[in-house]
Amino acid sequence: MDVQTLTYLVVGVTFAVYIGIAIKTRAGSTKEFYVAGGGVPPILNGMATAADWMSAASFISLAGIVSFVGYDGSVYIMGWTGGYVLLALLMVPYLRKFGKFTVPDFIGDRYYSQSARTVAVICAIFISFTYIAGQMRGVGVVFSRFLEVEVDTGVYIGMCVVFFYAVLGGMKGITYTQVAQYCVMIFAFMVPAVFLSIMMTGHIFPQLGFGAELLDATGNSSSIYLLDKLDGLSTELGFAQYTEGSKDMIDVLFITGALMFGTAGLPHVIVRFFTVPRVRDARSSAGWTLLFIAIMYTTIPALASFSRVNMIQSINGPESQGVPHAEAPLWIENWEKTGLIKWDDKNSDGKMFYSNDERNEMNVDRDIIVLATPEMANLPAWVIALMAAGGLAAALSTSAGLLLVISTSVSHDLLKKNLMPNISDNKELMYARMASGAGIIMAGYFGINPPGFVAAVVAIAFGLAASSLFPAITMGIFSTKMNKEGAIAGMLAGLSFTTIYIIYFKFVNSAANVSENWLFGISPEGIGMLGMLVNFAVAIIVCKMTSPTPQAVVDMVESIRFPKGAGEAQDH
């Protein structure tokens, strides 16, 4: 069976499973639509949360970044994993104790203000739309190669699938679909990593192969370590050493911080911990999630390094003399059809060459590295098909979670809690599904017209979360003095500052997007941490200049600081 037919089969089967789960677990009430009825077992919620959080940025793009930039890519690994620890320790038990459906729900009640709730809704929608743009871009990349359709067509197909199971099943359907998607995703990621580790180093575990010696053509040790090989290739081709960073430390600090604090402020991840019965289950769920995330994240550096060696050698040849384009490996030919690899024969010698200087003739999109890895290594067709299914599972699982945030923000926080307080349960559910439909249309647009490669777009979304929601949530839990005026002013200041900075360097004057022009040397991917500091500063100043927090709210904050019991997720 050829690769394309096998891919259609594997992807078709996984889609049928997702849709079947959505039908079987269809939400029949707002509680099931928003928090899956609050009865998901911790281990299953851990798998669903891992799938929700490990988006296309983790599965498709993160290894691509590490593969291309080496050590500098570690800021994404440190930021995202560290942020989840922060979320589990600082947020999960307290928000679960509070017992509401959404982050805007918490902010609206904690800051005793409909205005605060509305600002939080705006922040949540803004973050979600930015994040989902990266996911739909990932869907388009997968479909464009493996189903041999245009990237835009791939986005449309992904929109239809997500729309069906997110709108029909709500959180209940999404949760159990994400459990299946995690299984597909992690199996698809680990299989080629294990294959490559065995083929290149003789180690079954990629984490060990990452620090091991490479094998020669006879299968014996070459006495050359994988990372030494990459350092040599990198300097030979004009790149910085693979194991040394080139970013300024200030930018490394701020990107890592933006990703960490952004993770702890992501509404679509936080809401997952309302789906378990008790605070104890929320803590257990967070532990399981960390374990499930660690399986992939400890493998990413190894897979990125294996792929980097294979990519360079298949383009430049074993002796780095270039390979005739007419004899190019099949994976290059396949990806050239998508436009994500381009060859420009500058010296008219008919040979391809990849480097970081005037010799370079290859433009390789970072987002293809993981997806192209099985083809680079000539792995079996079923592994290639599995990789396609895994990439789609990663993008679709997070897209569904983000759509739910958008729909609940509109139907529950904006309509039920603000504009239409007397709306019936059925009407609220209808508006939630309508909001999901509108959200998927907008997501499709941004997937077709993305502002950058997948991980960069997602990093911006994390920066927006860090600068807007994280300070309001943190001060809402740990400070009895923070009042509504301070929280609202802080959220607006942090979000506005971060958004203006990103828009200027990414869209208005992208030519100026170089380190010499950045404020304090901080890139758009890291500016969210500075926006967070602006948020804290403005909130504290305004709080000191305005009326104190009511005693009833102070008592409520004190009660959620000691999560001995669990408030059941509720809408009243």
Contact 195, 379 (CB under 8 A): yes
pLDDT of residue 195: 92
What percent of the chain is predicted at pLDDT more than 90?
Answer: 21
Cα 315 vs. chain centroid, distance in angstroms?
Answer: 30
Contact 390, 59 (CB under 8 A): yes
Block residue for tokens 């993008």: 395
Per-residue pLDDT tens over the stretch 115-144: 998 898 888 888 887 777 777 777 777 777
pLDDT of residue 568: 52
Tell me the pLDDT band of 572, cut-offs 50, 70 and 90.
Answer: very low
- Determine the Cα–Cα distance for residues 503 and 451; give it in Å rounded to an integer: 10
In three-state secondary structure terms, 187 is helix
- Closest to 386 measured CA to CA, from 129, 190, 92, 172: 190
- Determine the Cα–Cα distance for residues 116 and 107; give it in Å rounded to an integer: 6
Contact 395, 139 (CB under 8 A): yes
Contact 207, 298 (CB under 8 A): yes
Per-residue pLDDT tens over the stretch 221-238: 888 999 999 999 888 988
Q: What is the pLDDT averaged over residues 23-49?
A: 68
- Determine the Cα–Cα distance for residues 323 and 81; give it in Å rounded to an integer: 39
More confident residue, 277 or 504: 504
Tell me the pLDDT band of 546, cut-offs 50, 70 and 90.
Answer: very high
The total number of structural domains that make up the chain = 1
Phi, psi of 63 (to 5 degrees): -65, -30
pLDDT greater than 50 at residue 513: yes
First to last CA, the chain: 56
Q: ∠ CA 9-15-19 to the nearest 5 degrees?
A: 145
The answer to the question of residue 428 being in a domain is yes
Q: Which residues pair with 351 in a beta bridge?
A: 324
The answer to the question of residue 313 being in a domain is no
Look up residue 95 and give its two tokens: 């928000």
Contact 174, 400 (CB under 8 A): yes
Cα atoms found within 13 Å of the Cα of residue 396, Cβ hemisphere only: 37
304-342 burial, b at 16+ Cβ within 10 Å, e below that, comes to bbbbbbbbbbbbbbeeeebbebeebbebbebbeebebbe
Per-residue pLDDT tens over the stretch 186-198: 998 999 999 999 9
> DSSP per residue over 465-530, as a string?
HHHHHHHHHHHHHH-SS--HHHHHHHHHHHHHHHHHHHHIIIII-GGG-SGGGSGGG--TTTHHHH
pLDDT greater than 70 at residue 365: yes
Contact 368, 180 (CB under 8 A): no
DSSP state of 214: E
- Determine the Cα–Cα distance for residues 156 and 435; give it in Å rounded to an integer: 18
Strands 351-352 and 213-215: unpaired
The answer to the question of residue 160 being in a domain is yes
The answer to the question of residue 325 being in a domain is no
Contact 351, 173 (CB under 8 A): no
Q: What is the pLDDT averaged over residues 407-420?
A: 76
Q: What is the pLDDT averaged over residues 165-173?
A: 61
- Residue 379 makes CB contacts below 8 A (sequence gap 6+) with 192, 195
pLDDT greater than 70 at residue 450: no
Contact 14, 158 (CB under 8 A): no
The answer to the question of residue 371 being in a domain is no
- Separation in Å, CA 117 to CA 9, 112, 123, 270: 46, 9, 10, 16
The answer to the question of residue 374 being in a domain is no
Q: Which domain holds residue 442?
A: 3-35+42-220+236-242+262-307+379-560
The answer to the question of residue 463 being in a domain is yes
pLDDT greater than 80 at residue 413: no
The answer to the question of residue 166 being in a domain is yes
Tell me the pLDDT band of 200, cut-offs 50, 70 and 90.
Answer: very high
More confident residue, 436 or 378: 378
- Closest to 386 measured CA to CA, from 538, 189, 208: 189
- Determine the Cα–Cα distance for residues 104 and 112; give it in Å rounded to an integer: 12
Does the CA dihedral 209-214-218-220 come out positive or negative?
negative
pLDDT of residue 317: 85
Look up residue 221 and give its two tokens: 């040790």
> DSSP per residue over 362-389, as a string?
EEE-GGGHHHHHHHHTT--HHHHHHHHH
- Residue 140 makes CB contacts below 8 A (sequence gap 6+) with 151, 152, 154, 155, 158, 447, 448
pLDDT of residue 60: 78
Q: What is the pLDDT averaged over residues 15-40?
A: 65
Look up residue 526 and give its two tokens: 């890291």
Mean pLDDT score of the chain: 82
Query: Tell me, what CATH number does 465's domain have?
Result: 1.20.1730.10
pLDDT greater than 80 at residue 406: no
Per-residue pLDDT tens over the stretch 288-301: 888 898 899 999 99
Per-residue pLDDT tens over the stretch 460-469: 888 888 999 9
Contact 539, 490 (CB under 8 A): yes
Tell me the pLDDT band of 201, cut-offs 50, 70 and 90.
Answer: very high
415-425 burial, b at 16+ Cβ within 10 Å, e below that, comes to bbbbeeeebee
- Determine the Cα–Cα distance for residues 500 and 327; give it in Å rounded to an integer: 48
